[in-house]
Amino acid sequence: MVVSNLVFYNINLDLRDASRVFPERPRFADSSPMPLFRNARFETSIAKPSGLPSPSGPEIAFAGRSNAGKSSAINTLAGHVRLAYVSKTPGRTQLLNFFRLNCGALMVDLPGYGYAAVPEKVRKQWQGLIESYLKHRESLIGLVLIMDSRHPLTPLDRQMIDWFAPSGRPIHILLTKSDKLTRGPATATLQAVKRELAPLGEKVTVQLFSSLKKTGVEETETVVARWLAAEAGEENATLE
Amino acid 120: pLDDT? 76
CB atoms within 10 A of CB 132: 15
Task: Please name which of 232, 184, 235, 236 lies closest in space to residue 28, comparing C-alpha atoms.
Answer: 232
Task: Please name which of 159, 162, 160, 134 lies closest in space to residue 49, comparing C-alpha atoms.
Answer: 134
On the 0-12 / 13-18 / 19+ scale of CB atoms within 10 A, 26 is middle
What number is the average pLDDT over the span 219-233? 95
Question: Which residue ranges form the domains of the chain, and what is each CATH number?
Answer: 3-239 (3.40.50.300)
Amino acid 116: pLDDT? 58
Judged against a pLDDT cut of 70, whether residue 59 lies above it is answered with yes
Q: How confident is the model at residue 85 (pLDDT cuts 50, 70, 90)?
A: low
Amino acid 12: pLDDT? 40
Rounded CA gap, 117 and 115, in Å? 6
Rounded CA gap, 89 and 232, in Å? 39
Amino acid 119: pLDDT? 73
Q: How confident is the model at residue 64 (pLDDT cuts 50, 70, 90)?
A: very high
Helix, coil or strand: residue 14: coil
Judged against a pLDDT cut of 50, whether residue 10 lies above it is answered with no
Amino acid 61: pLDDT? 98
Rounded CA gap, 225 and 202, in Å? 16
Give pLDDT tens digits for 14-33. Answer: 444 444 444 444 343 333 35
Q: What is the largest CA-CA distance in the chain?
A: 52
Task: Please name which of 228, 238, 169, 236 lies closest in space to residue 15, comparing C-alpha atoms.
Answer: 228
Question: What does 150-185 look like in DSSP terms, one character per residue?
Answer: TS-S-HHHHHHHHHHGGG---EEEEEE-GGGS-HHH
Greater model confidence, 36 or 86: 36
Task: Please name which of 2, 4, 30, 3 lies closest in space to residue 17, comparing C-alpha atoms.
Answer: 30
Handedness of CA 63, 66, 69, 74 (dihedral sign): positive
Give pLDDT tens digits for 108-134. Answer: 999 888 765 667 777 778 788 898 899
Spatial CB neighbours of 230, under 8 Å, sequence gap ≥ 6? 141
Greater model confidence, 114 or 59: 59
On the 0-12 / 13-18 / 19+ scale of CB atoms within 10 A, 20 is middle
Helix, coil or strand: residue 58: coil
Rounded CA gap, 25 and 56, in Å? 10
Q: Is pTM, for the whole model, over 0.85?
A: no
Amino acid 239: pLDDT? 56
What number is the average pLDDT over the span 212-231? 96
